[in-house]
Amino acid sequence: MAPTVQAGAPRRVALSRDRVLRAGVALADEEGIDALSMRRLAQRLGVVPMALYRHVANKEELLDGMVDVVIGEIDPPLEGADWRTAVRERILSARRALLRHPWARPVIESRTGASPVVLDHMNSLIGMFRAGGFSAVLTHHVMHALGSRMWGFTQEVFPSAPPPEDPEQRAAMFQQVAARWPHILEIAGAGAHDQGSVVGQGCDDQFEFEFTLDLMLDGFERLRRQDWTPRR
């Protein structure tokens, strides 16, 4: 018997870093990031908890690796498009990847230090601006302005709790909002697709994202055209 993986003994697929990371992504996808513990992940892989530590140094490194898996799903850059189309498509592709893995947003935000995969994405975006005629300084600020939007997400701030079921309670809540926060009520339904909805309801996230993205791209283009430099 060669000392390789025992064929014929259908025990377990050998553990590998890749298999650990993919199982982590699957677990987080299915049960949320709070359900992802080293112990539960090990159980899912039919392995003792400490076995995971052969492939990742600790939980932080597990999360880093899982983020890389998600970022790996972003489409490659468009070839031969103008800077604006290229940037826009790249960011919207990142958004699609992140929407498939909702747990990834808070995890990306909490990372300190960038992995090679993260740096690849940033380098690629920066290259698009530079090729489009943006100066190094302007590109620097423009990348800061994008911030986490380069990953296709932003922090929404409208309360997301669904309104109470009971019509009487809902009426009472309505009264209270009308009295203390009239302006919120006033704009609540505005911009919603289905009319008569309550705060934060029926609001089209994709529309809001593209609205802001385009607002920023417009701003960038304007600064580029006027050869913006920081006033000193």
Partner DNA sequence: ACCTGAACACCGTTCAAGT
Chain residues that interact with DNA, rule: CB under 7 A: 36-40, 47-51, 53-54, 58-60
Interface with a second copy (CB under 8 A), residue from 127, 173, 201, 202: 127
Q: What's the CA gap between 79 and 75, in Å, rounded?
A: 12
Q: Which stretch binds a second copy (CB under 8 A): 17-25, 35-43, 56-64, 115-123?
A: 115-123
* Coil, helix or strand at residue 192: strand
- Return the half-sphere exposure (C-beta side, CA atoms, 13 A cut-off) of residue 109: 12
Q: Are 24 and 67 in contact (CB under 8 A)?
A: no
Interface with a second copy (CB under 8 A), residue from 85, 93, 154, 197: 154
- Secondary structure of 3-63 as H, E, C letters: CCCCCCCCCCCCCCHHHHHHHHHHHHHHHCHHHCCHHHHHHHCCCCHHHHHHCCCCHHHHH
Q: What's the CA gap between 149 and 98, in Å, rounded?
A: 11
Partner whose binding site includes residue 194, from a second copy, DNA, none (CB under 5 to 8 Å by kind) = none
Nearer to a second copy, 45 or 132 (CB): 132
How many residues touch a second copy under the rule CB under 8 A: the total is 61
CB of 14 to DNA, least distance (A): 9
State yes or no: residue 208 binds a second copy (CB under 8 A): yes
* Coil, helix or strand at residue 72: coil
Phi then psi for residue 124, to 5 deg, are -65, -45
Site string for a second copy, 160-189 (x = CB under 8 A): xx---------------x--xxxxx-xxx-
Nearer to DNA, 64 or 188 (CB): 64
Specify the DSSP class assigned to residue 79. Answer: S
Note the residues at the interface with a second copy (CB under 8 A): 106, 109-110, 112-114, 116, 118-120, 122-124, 126-127, 130, 135-137, 139-141, 143-148, 150-151, 154-161, 177, 180-184, 186-188, 190-191, 203, 207-208, 211-212, 215-216, 218-220, 223, 230
